[in-house]
Homo-oligomer: A and B are copies of this chain.
């Protein structure tokens, strides 16, 4: 497409908007994430000689076009909602405003990162909500979809309020707290569990011991024996990773308390998601912290959004599309949000120059290809913003179960008029 734009001398400014059209059944909002990686990418985007050599070999591209690629940089502007912002269908998350070929070339990376990180942040926010203030840690690197996802899942989960990750590389890359406990294999490698616990606790005072390799309650007995009878061993927690976590956590708490070890915390993992955690919390289980893996890191119940990167304006003219189920609202947009007593009440998707009541969600993040430092929050600041967003959600949206109620998002008169005008032009044309 870039070559065709060049051949047609089409170098006008395009506006592309990254939006999703429908909420998955088990989501009542999406938490936007991934912008930081998009800005990094656009600031450094270029074709290397090896890339151009490969394209040359495909015999699809002219010499002139291939030569022009080596000079391509992203020179456009970007507007976006800050990471952690709660968004709804048809609201632009990232708006790329650039010469059409540049903007088109950015599509796959922009959608890939905003999609993944928003899918995960949206899931993680629900998991955090379900835990009602108890700590939740992301433990799923091995089952995330590839190495990039293993990093980005840790980042998006932390953005959405999780306490940290077991992925050391992500912890280092993003300054996220690192958590780790032993694996079953460590226990198994010793001839008995007590020796394994002893070795680990001597090396890591204050560690968490995994008690369910053979029999979880005997494992707890071993921890008690260790702490009571071996000098100077400090154990901060025990982890349950299988079976009926509700019953086991209660029995574990009872054993620890009876031994006077009230300070030892209980850590639970194994197949957890927001529904399991909510059920455990409703049952009053004495679990102090949750480790969440697979169902979070692949967003098991909603692994994808129908997110796309839509051309809405080219060369100053609003553009649309009328394929049966996928209408595009034409023209560059702004979204405004109204609050009622500190709670999100309704949004309007309008034109940037329309007078609309409410706070604008989209802010400028890049100008002429460079990031704008005033709109470049660090991860802790984005995490605070995400927390505030969740605190302002209507209670129907914070519920884990679908309530049948949708957050009201309407289209401004300006957008509606423009859509109607294009529809008529299309019917005549």
B321 contacts A188, CB within 8 Å? yes
Chain B proximity mask over A52-73: 1 for CB below 8 Å, otherwise 0? 0011001010000000000000
Q: How far is the CB of A39 from chain B (nearest CB, A)?
A: 16
A323 contacts B188, CB within 8 Å? no
Which residues of chain A in 204-255 are interfacial with respect to chain B, using CB atoms and an 8 Å cutoff?
204, 212-216, 241-244
Q: Does A200 contact B (CB under 8 A)?
A: yes
Q: A141-B112, A172-B54 are in contact. Are A203 and B7 (CB under 8 A)?
A: yes
A243 contacts B325, CB within 8 Å? yes
Residues of B within 8 A of A16 (CB): 185
The residue of chain B having its C-beta at the shortest distance from the C-beta of A3 within the complex is B203
The residue of chain B having its C-beta at the shortest distance from the C-beta of A12 within the complex is B189
Beyond the given pairs A7-B202, A146-B147, 8 more chain A to chain B contacts, judged by CB atoms under 8 angstroms and listed by A's residue number, are A4-B200, A111-B142, A112-B142, A112-B146, A115-B143, A143-B305, A213-B321, A303-B303
A304 contacts B298, CB within 8 Å? yes
**Bound CA span A116–B326, Å:** 31
Could you tell me how many residues of chain A have their Cβ less than 8 Å away from some Cβ of chain B? 90
Residues of B within 8 A of A182 (CB): 1, 4
Q: A321-B214, A323-B242 are in contact. Are A311 and B116 (CB under 8 A)?
A: no
Chain B proximity mask over A30-65: 1 for CB below 8 Å, otherwise 0? 000000000000000000000000110010100000
B189 contacts A111, CB within 8 Å? no
Q: How far is the CB of A1 from chain B (nearest CB, A)?
A: 5
Residues of B within 8 A of A304 (CB): 143, 294-295, 298, 300
- 14 A-B contact pairs sorted by A residue (CB < 8 Å): A1-B182, A4-B203, A4-B204, A5-B186, A54-B168, A107-B183, A111-B143, A112-B141, A112-B143, A146-B151, A149-B149, A213-B321, A241-B323, A300-B304
Q: Does A426 contact B (CB under 8 A)?
A: yes
A184 contacts B243, CB within 8 Å? no
Q: Does A134 contact B (CB under 8 A)?
A: no
The residue of chain B having its C-beta at the shortest distance from the C-beta of A324 within the complex is B243
**Bound CA span A304–B140, Å:** 11
Q: Does A383 contact B (CB under 8 A)?
A: no
Residues of B within 8 A of A305 (CB): 143
Q: Does A150 contact B (CB under 8 A)?
A: yes
Residues of B within 8 A of A111 (CB): 142-143
Q: How far is the CB of A270 from chain B (nearest CB, A)?
A: 9
**Bound CA span A172–B216, Å:** 50
The residue of chain B having its C-beta at the shortest distance from the C-beta of A216 within the complex is B323
Q: Does A290 contact B (CB under 8 A)?
A: no
The residue of chain B having its C-beta at the shortest distance from the C-beta of A120 within the complex is B145
- Number of copies of chain A assembled together: 2
The residue of chain B having its C-beta at the shortest distance from the C-beta of A195 within the complex is B8
- Interface on A for B, CB 8 Å cutoff? 1, 3-5, 7-8, 10, 14, 16, 54-55, 58, 60, 100, 104, 107-109, 111-113, 115-116, 119, 141-152, 167-168, 172, 178, 182-186, 188-189, 191-192, 199-200, 202-204, 212-216, 241-244, 294-295, 298-300, 303-307, 309-311, 314-315, 317, 319-326, 328, 426, 429
A189 contacts B314, CB within 8 Å? yes
Residues of B within 8 A of A188 (CB): 311, 314, 319-321, 328
**Bound CA span A203–B5, Å:** 10
**Bound CA span A214–B321, Å:** 6
Residues of B within 8 A of A151 (CB): 146
Q: How far is the CB of A30 from chain B (nearest CB, A)?
A: 14
Q: Which 6 A-B pairs have the closest CB atoms?
A: A146-B148, A145-B145, A185-B311, A242-B323, A111-B142, A146-B149
A147 contacts B298, CB within 8 Å? no
Q: Specify which of A8, A107, A151 lies most central, judged by the most chain B CB atoms within 10 Å of its CB.
A: A8
B323 contacts A143, CB within 8 Å? no
**Bound CA span A168–B55, Å:** 9
B314 contacts A7, CB within 8 Å? no
A116 contacts B146, CB within 8 Å? yes
Q: How far is the CB of A317 from chain B (nearest CB, A)?
A: 8
Query: Which residue of B119, B144, B214 contacts A112 across the interface (Cβ within 8 Å)?
Result: B144
